Amino acid sequence: MLKYNLLKITHKDLLLKYLLLLIIPFILLANLRYESNHNNELKILESFNIEASFLNDPVMNEVKNNRVSITKNQHFFSAMDNAYIFIPAIKSILNENNIPQEFLYLAMAESNFKPKAYSSKQAAGLWQFMPLTGKHFSLKIDEYVDERRDLIKATIAASQYLLELHEQFGKWYLAAIAYNCGGGRLSKAIEEAGSDKLSVLLDEDKKYIPRESRYYIRKIVALALIGNDEQFMLKSEYEHLLNRANAYSIATVALSSGESLERVAKILNMPLEDLKKLNRHLKYDFVPPYAKKYDVYIPYIKLAEFKQNYFETPIKNIYQVHIVSNGDNLSYIGQLYGVSSKMIMDFNKLKNSRLKLKQKLIIPSHNQAKMKILQKKSHYVVKSGDSLGSIALVHKVSVKNIKSYNHINGSMIKIGDTLKLYE
């Protein structure tokens, strides 16, 4: 009886040892994965010059967990997937400027990777530049283009801006906060707090920086942590995002004035809408009429095909945008540009001849010489005896539009003033 019990215990011991041998490797692997991910998270914090203790920030972790838990609409993953073609270009530009690649997620926080994103405060594009800031960094904004929506130029401008902010404040997390609330506002906050430490600036009671900015830096870091969590990505249906190439996925080609995106799309054998997605900075489906050459983006895989099949041809039409003012009709506009009323109607898909005030019409003009004259006439130098009323009457524009285009509050104008007549 005693022998049997000893034997039974021995078998149990052996079984336990066997099970432990099976389980221990999985435990060790889990620990290694945890250590690996933890070390990766520390590297991400380091890239922002943030202390390791920030991993314990409850608000940041709440932002992170909320992002992870939203599986129904796959918000994070769908944004990354939709932006796959230009993300490598953004990373490359950031790298060229010695900016941590984690700042990719600043663009995501700003616009959700939507080049056409537009805020109620008039900020636009991936990096949400305000008009004045965009122009400060040489981004053209006019009737034909808004380069705040240019994937490459706007990223270069954002890099320049971030470098300036980093030089001013010395730390990357401060540059990110300043990008959101402004350098002046952040400088004041640091002075009030007597410190530039993140934990101090994020004090919920003192409120040194605006609530939006306190959430903003946490959101960027949380997005960076999610985007670099390989184990999490592998568990999702979007694990292919881990295998995206870091090389440029888009190529830049220079097109002549008036070139049509439709013609380029046909040459490249690709949908026009796909080409337009890469060129959201163009307000219309053609290259600006004033530019001899202008940069347009195509998929990199189409570059060889473009070089082989694209040929410059004399542009049949020079495109101009006409803004309808008081007294305008199709007949008058046709005479002005040397085209028929029918052509204007067909080109703008008008069902009838009725026009609305401030309506924008695309005019395909055959007469390049006349177009140049028209372009020159877009500005008028005030002469002796001129008034806003007389100028408006001669040039077929409204007084209201002249005042709006030139930021005139009253009716006073001076001899020698240059007035913008058309937008």
pTM above 0.75, yes or no: no
CA–CA separation, 22 and 366 (whole Å): 80
Residue 374 has a pLDDT of 46
Q: Residue 164: is it exposed, middle or buried by C-beta count within 10 angstroms (0-12/13-18/19+)?
A: middle
- Phi, psi torsion values for 48, nearest 5 degrees: -90, 0
**Domain span holding position 274:** 250-309
Same structural domain, 237 and 258: no
Query: What is the count of structural domains for the chain?
Result: 4
Query: Residue 145 maps to which CATH number?
Result: 1.10.530.10
Same structural domain, 413 and 356: yes
Same structural domain, 68 and 124: yes
Residue 7 has a pLDDT of 47
Same structural domain, 142 and 236: yes
Q: Which of 261, 276, 309 is the last residue of a domain?
A: 309
Same structural domain, 156 and 58: yes
Give the chain's residues under pLDDT 70: 1-37, 67-74, 232-248, 313-318, 365-379, 422-423
Residue 107 has a pLDDT of 95
Q: Residue 59: is it exposed, middle or buried by C-beta count within 10 angstroms (0-12/13-18/19+)?
A: middle
Locate 308 and state its tokens.
């082989």
- Phi, psi torsion values for 78, nearest 5 degrees: -65, -35
Angle, vertex CA 142, rays to CA 321 and CA 411, nearest 5: 85
Dihedral sign for Cα atoms in the order 93, 99, 102, 105: negative
Residue 375 has a pLDDT of 47
Same structural domain, 141 and 212: yes
Same structural domain, 155 and 185: yes
Same structural domain, 163 and 262: no
Query: Residue 411 maps to which CATH number?
Result: 3.10.350.10
Residue 95 has a pLDDT of 94
Same structural domain, 211 and 264: no
Residue from 5, 179, 171, 163 nearest 109 by CA = 179
Same structural domain, 303 and 404: no
- Phi, psi torsion values for 73, nearest 5 degrees: -100, -5
Residue 314 has a pLDDT of 55
Residue 397 has a pLDDT of 76
Residue 34 has a pLDDT of 47
Same structural domain, 116 and 216: yes
Radius of gyration of the chain (CA): 30
Q: How far apart are the first and last CA of the chain?
A: 105
Taking residue 65's Cβ as centre, other Cβ atoms within 10 Å add up to 12
Q: Which of 243, 259, 275 is the last residue of a domain?
A: 243
CA–CA separation, 131 and 127 (whole Å): 12
Q: Residue 318: is it exposed, middle or buried by C-beta count within 10 angstroms (0-12/13-18/19+)?
A: buried
Same structural domain, 201 and 264: no
Q: Which of 279, 309, 339 is the last residue of a domain?
A: 309
Dihedral sign for Cα atoms in the order 150, 151, 153, 155: positive
Residue from 56, 176, 173 nearest 110 by CA = 176
